[in-house]
Copies of this chain bind each other. A is one copy, B any other.
Amino acid sequence: MAGARERARTELTAEIVRLAREQVERDGATNLSLRAIARDLGMVSSAVYRYFASRDELLTRLIIDSYERLGAAAEAADAAVRRSDHRGRWRAIAHAIRDWAIANPSEYALLFGTPVPGYAAPQDTIAPASRYTLVLLNLLADVEAAGGRAAGRLAPPLKRDLAKVRATLGLAVDETLMAHGMAAWAALMGAINLELFGHLHNVVDTPGARFDLVVEQEAERLFAGTTVARRTSNRA
Interfacial residues, chain A to chain B (CB-CB below 8 A): 27-31, 106, 109, 112-117, 121, 126, 129-130, 133, 152, 154-155, 157-158, 161-162, 165, 179-180, 182-183, 185-191, 193-194, 197-199, 201-206, 209-210, 212-214, 216-217, 221
Contacts and interface: CB of A to CB of B under 8 A. Distances in A.
A183 B218 CA distance: 9
A217 B117 contact: no
Nearest to A109: B114
20 contacts: A28-B114, A28-B116, A30-B30, A109-B114, A112-B199, A113-B113, A113-B114, A121-B201, A126-B201, A152-B216, A155-B206, A179-B210, A183-B213, A183-B214, A183-B217, A186-B190, A186-B193, A186-B214, A187-B190, A189-B190
A221 B183 CA distance: 13
Contact of A179 (B106, B133, B213): B213
A179 B217 CA distance: 10
Among A129, A152, A217, max chain B CB count under 10 A is at: A217
B191 A204 contact: no
A158 B117 contact: no
Nearest to A195: B186
Contacts of A209: 154-155, 157-158, 161
A45 to B, nearest CB: 21
Given A27-B117, A193-B189, A198-B121, A162 B204 contact: yes
